[in-house]
Amino acid sequence: MTYIVNDNCIACKYTDCVEVCPVDCFYEGENMLVIHPDECIDCGVCEPECPADAIRPDTEPDMEKWVEFNRKYSEMWPVIITRKDPLPEAEERDGETGKLEKYFSEAPGEGG
């Protein structure tokens, strides 16, 4: 099992999760985070930290696509271990549907 970040993170990018991760397996894109599935130790401490409910276990239905999505971008983006402010539109976009199609950016974040 591993944990993944899904599209609820897009355009919000809360980083509360990165501070509690004991293995630094979060990676930062321009407007979301992902978890490297091979580095995640399945401890689950990140899941309750996410205000957007964007972190889910891969054992839930239809999560395989998110495992591969997280794998792909974690290999392209820089690691993030320090909490940052969420994106300015985070509260407005939290819970919005269709965020992958509307807002997702493949561009890397700054990391750090």
CATH number at residue 30: 3.30.70.20
Asked if residue 91 belongs to a domain, the reply is no
53-102 tens-digit pLDDT:
999 999 999 999 999 999 999 999 999 999 999 999 999 999 999 999 99
Phi/psi-derived region of residue 76, left when phi > 0, alpha when psi is between -120 and 50, beta in every other case: alpha
- Split into its structural domains, the chain has a count of 1
Instruction: Provide the 3-class DSSP secondary structure of residue 69.
Output: helix
Residue 48 has pLDDT above 90, yes or no: yes
The residue range of the domain holding 10 is 3-84
Average pLDDT over residues 35-52: 97
Residues 6 or more apart whose CB falls under 8 angstroms from that of 71 comprise 36, 37, 38
Asked if residue 42 belongs to a domain, the reply is yes
| Cα dihedral across residues 19, 89, 87, 67: positive or negative | positive
The one-character DSSP state at 72 is H
Average pLDDT over residues 37-61: 97
Average pLDDT over residues 28-53: 97
Asked if residue 108 belongs to a domain, the reply is no
Across the chain, where does the E strand assignment appear? 3-5, 26-28, 33-35, 55-57
Asked if residue 52 belongs to a domain, the reply is yes
So what's the pLDDT on residue 57?
Answer: 97
So what's the pLDDT on residue 1?
Answer: 85
Q: What is the pTM of this model?
A: 0.96
